[in-house]
Structure 1
């Protein structure tokens, strides 16, 4: 089987045997899964792909500091520049000083920035290859001057302390759509505590806002960075909630909720993807209690009314500021 992802194609032509390789933040590529020994990723889907092939699969938050990976390591450079810097610092903390590793990625994903990033961190840089609009660089770890923990950012919003990470959607700010959604439900929010599912919790602002008002929160996200951020946000505000890694409803079995609330993603890296949002809407009735309610916010141009109509037969628009619309559908 040959690699499909361009950066993996570049990696594949370096040599034939990658059985000792650990990959960090990789794309989903079947060749890479088959070739490598293990993965460290914040992406639930990637972790499942490696686990399904009986390969080691860890998030950066469940590897103890200094717990060794393989002797061969490749970091796949992420589109989010600050997340890439975090991975570099994390590797320097995780591995003995002087441990070699490589950095691969697509030009349109920002890999050309890597030599400058390495220079600023005091790390060496050797360009190994360049093809298929991708580049591969070699470097090694150094004793870090600043901790990867410094990437976490606290900010105040809606009377809450929000803890955010560069790997999380909307890092360091509250999304306009989320604000619109919370404003649209505040006056009608039941006083009786609800069992609420926050789908795609991000840094946890929706979960914390509802928990602060006495509701029982379950928060899920496909990103380990978001799961960790949401846990930290709840803790920073002295609030309780259950936070899980889940690809839409995958971790919830047959559990039902009074409300499901979401600012669902429609991008995966640079691609528009409605898949998770469509699954959220179509499967929501199976996870709502009788009389339960789904509330979502979306960019006004997205085709969610059609999906809501099919899944619920009827829905209403709670708010519309031209950029975003808030929809509610009752079971």
Structure 2
């Protein structure tokens, strides 16, 4: 079987067959059938990737959970596009694994892998270049104790009267996204004008990120559910809610996957449209397409999106009609509902 993704193609070139020197555990990997045939374990913060490998019978765990760090030595880290997240993964691996554990690092040139030698040098880790091809590079190092703990990556800050917690890899890390700001302003105005369903009884925040929207909802509702595909976001949202002395149910979920047939009066989202460096509408399309099944009678879907994205077509096809609640030329806030 041939590897499909460029980074895995480079690994296949360097490790043409499984052996004593081949990595046994993949960290933050893409979904690739060749890789699934090679490794015994996967660590990832992406809920959908964990599920994909578990379905293949592979041990897969989130770094936010108690994972199986007793898997065979030989680990490979797929360098993420978020530079600070890559540093976090290195720091976390050095904490979790015995000193001297072999670790390979692979990634695409346009994803930041070329910066890895300087990162390793700054951390005091050795660096050996093993190979490069398919516009990717492969490096080798070994784990060792580091002076900085991985927990130092967490960031706390205050916005709009709320204390927020965030982590590298969480959407809008450390700041308020312009689209989210417009969405919150629009929700506040709609609430004051009595244009939201009911009294905000059952609310769902899809793609909760650091939890700023979930916190706004929880300040006004006793029944809030927040979901995100990213384990760092799930933990960040929980920390944010706790810091504001609020409660909500926070779940790891690929859009509605963890919710069964539950219904809500209000679904709110600033949906992602990037998958690594590519524009990808899959999650947002599913969010809109399946929303009617998760909206109670009279319920509303309110989402914000970059103005150039074709979400109006999705809303029209799913709901038959919709309205634009706000438009600042860069972002639009849409509303659609079921009767």
TM range (shorter): over 0.9
Instruction: Provide the C-alpha distance between the structure 1 equivalents of 2:248 and 2:231, rounded to a whole number of angstroms.
Output: 16
How big is the shift at 1:20? Answer: 6.3
> Match of 2:254?
247
1:323 aligns with 2:326: no
Instruction: Provide the C-alpha distance between the structure 2 equivalents of 1:212 and 1:122, rounded to a whole number of angstroms.
Output: 45
The answer as to whether partners of 2:266 and 2:299 remain within 8 angstroms in 1 is yes
How big is the shift at 1:254? Answer: 0.4
1:298 aligns with 2:305: yes
The answer as to whether partners of 1:34 and 1:53 remain within 8 angstroms in 2 is no
Superposition pairs for residues 7-156 of structure 1, below 5 Å?
Answer: 7-15=7-15, 16-17=17-18, 21-63=24-66, 67-156=69-158
TM-score, structure 2 normalization = 0.95
SS at match of 1:188: helix
SS at match of 1:187: helix
> Match of 1:186?
188
Superposition pairs for residues 204-215 of structure 1, below 5 Å?
Answer: 204-215=211-222
The CA RMSD over aligned residues, in Å, is: 1.4
The answer as to whether partners of 1:221 and 1:245 remain within 8 angstroms in 2 is yes
Instruction: Provide the C-alpha distance between the structure 2 equivalents of 1:63 and 1:123, rounded to a whole number of angstroms.
Output: 26
Superposition pairs for residues 194-205 of structure 1, below 5 Å?
Answer: 194-205=201-212
The answer as to whether partners of 1:102 and 1:138 remain within 8 angstroms in 2 is yes
The answer as to whether partners of 2:23 and 2:76 remain within 8 angstroms in 1 is no
The unaligned stretches of length 5 or more in structure 1 are none
Superposition pairs for residues 231-310 of structure 1, below 5 Å?
Answer: 231-310=238-317
Aligned pair count reads: 330
The answer as to whether partners of 2:200 and 2:265 remain within 8 angstroms in 1 is no
SS at match of 1:13: helix
The unaligned stretches of length 5 or more in structure 2 are none
SS at match of 2:14: coil
How big is the shift at 1:28? Answer: 1.4
How big is each residue's C-alpha offset from its partner over 1:184-229, in whole Å with a ceiling of 9 and x where there is no partner? Answer: 1213325834211101111111001111223421011111111111
The answer as to whether partners of 2:200 and 2:266 remain within 8 angstroms in 1 is no
How big is each residue's C-alpha offset from its partner over 1:254-289, in whole Å with a ceiling of 9 and x where there is no partner? Answer: 000000000000000001011111111011000000
Instruction: Provide the C-alpha distance between the structure 2 equivalents of 1:213 and 1:285, rounded to a whole number of angstroms.
Output: 23
TM-score, structure 1 normalization = 0.97
SS at match of 2:290: helix
How big is the shift at 1:6? Answer: 1.0
Instruction: Provide the C-alpha distance between the structure 2 equivalents of 1:97 and 1:141, rounded to a whole number of angstroms.
Output: 5
SS at match of 2:137: strand
